[in-house]
């Protein structure tokens, strides 16, 4: 009961609604993390079950100091850019495990806890969400970098408008009576103010002029569990360090043929479709391409085979 469990995931919706049977939380732009402890050291796992406590030692230390000896909790690790959570800023911490290099980044992180799966050896996933939230408040002392993800009740439409006005990612709506279970669920819903999602990198173009690394990433998504569909090229959102680091990663994944089912007109270098990135965009075009895409960061917490086009 204190080990890794595949997290519960929200389903995208275009509905904007109010209901006394639902609670609404801020959608955070960070890295999902399951935390567990069984009388000893605190463990942290990514969404895929990869150990990440070495990358976020201040979070592990806070959980050890501010939580009990046995628990499993669910939350999101975030970094802030001003008042907004920023996945792009969190990128500076993603691959680091050396304490000195972590400290040198100057990037502070916080761990927002929003659910409790077990406490003191008791599995609480069958309890309604409201009861689990009450137990969560009592199970930890919330001091930075540990924070409680507050929720609001009933008036989802007004809360959504307020969230978008504040520049938030959106809201997560959760059915108050729902149990916790692994996998995608319609008892948790994503209401997004901005459009973004994960894509698989299938190739890249050459850089032009003085630009380093590459020109644009060629990205796509899986058609269910089927082939990789082409979604367009992403040419903005990179600094020089990111351009060079991604080029090095992609050179190690070089392939002679395109991994995309669809024809791609760009002169490109092809790669094995293993690298996952997060991309923001304004909309999908009628022919299934991304409009105004912008790179936000690499996702190390989602397998490429699970990346599909996100639809409401």
In angstroms, the CA 68 to CA 205 distance is 51
Considering 27, 174, 192, 233, which one is annotated as catalytic? 27
Tokens 């959570």, residue?
Answer: 85
In angstroms, the CA 242 to CA 247 distance is 8
Whether 27 is catalytic is: yes
In angstroms, the CA 204 to CA 214 distance is 7
Check the CA dihedral 247-250-254-256 and report its sign.
negative
Q: Among all residues, which ones are annotated catalytic?
A: 27
């Amino acid at each position: 009961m204190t080990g890794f469990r595949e997290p519960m995931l929200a389903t995208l919706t275009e509905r904007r609604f109010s209901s006394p049977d639902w609670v609404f939380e801020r959608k955070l732009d960070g890295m999902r993390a399951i935390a567990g402890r069984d009388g000893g050291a605190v463990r942290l796992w990514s969404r895929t079950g990869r150990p990440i406590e070495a990358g976020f030692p201040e979070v592990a230390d806070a959980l050890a100091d501010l939580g009990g000896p046995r628990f499993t909790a669910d939350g999101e690790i975030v970094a802030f850019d001003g008042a907004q959570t920023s996945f792009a800023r969190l990128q500076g911490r993603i691959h680091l495990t050396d304490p000195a290099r972590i400290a040198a980044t100057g990037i502070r992180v916080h761990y927002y806890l929003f659910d409790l799966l077990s406490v003191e050896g008791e599995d609480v996933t069958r309890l309604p969400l409201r009861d689990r939230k009450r137990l969560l408040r009592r199970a930890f002392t919330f001091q930075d970098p540990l924070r409680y993800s507050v929720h609001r009740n009933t008036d989802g439409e007004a809360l959504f408008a307020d969230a978008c006005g504040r520049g938030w990612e959106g809201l997560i709506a959760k059915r108050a009576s729902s149990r916790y279970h692994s996998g995608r669920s319609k008892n948790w819903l994503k209401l997004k103010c901005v459009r973004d999602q994960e894509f698989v990198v299938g190739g890249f173009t050459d850089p032009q002029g003085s630009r380093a690394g590459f020109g644009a990433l060629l990205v796509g998504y899986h058609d269910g569990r089927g082939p990789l569909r082409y979604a367009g090229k992403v040419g903005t959102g990179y600094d020089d360090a990111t351009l060079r680091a991604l080029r090095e990663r992609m050179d190690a994944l070089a392939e002679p043929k395109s991994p995309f089912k669809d024809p791609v007109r760009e002169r490109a270098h092809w790669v094995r479709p293993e690298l996952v990135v997060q991309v923001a965009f304004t909309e999908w075009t009628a022919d299934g391409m991304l409009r105004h895409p912008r790179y936000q960061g690499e996702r190390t917490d989602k397998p490429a085979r699970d990346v599909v086009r996100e639809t409401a």
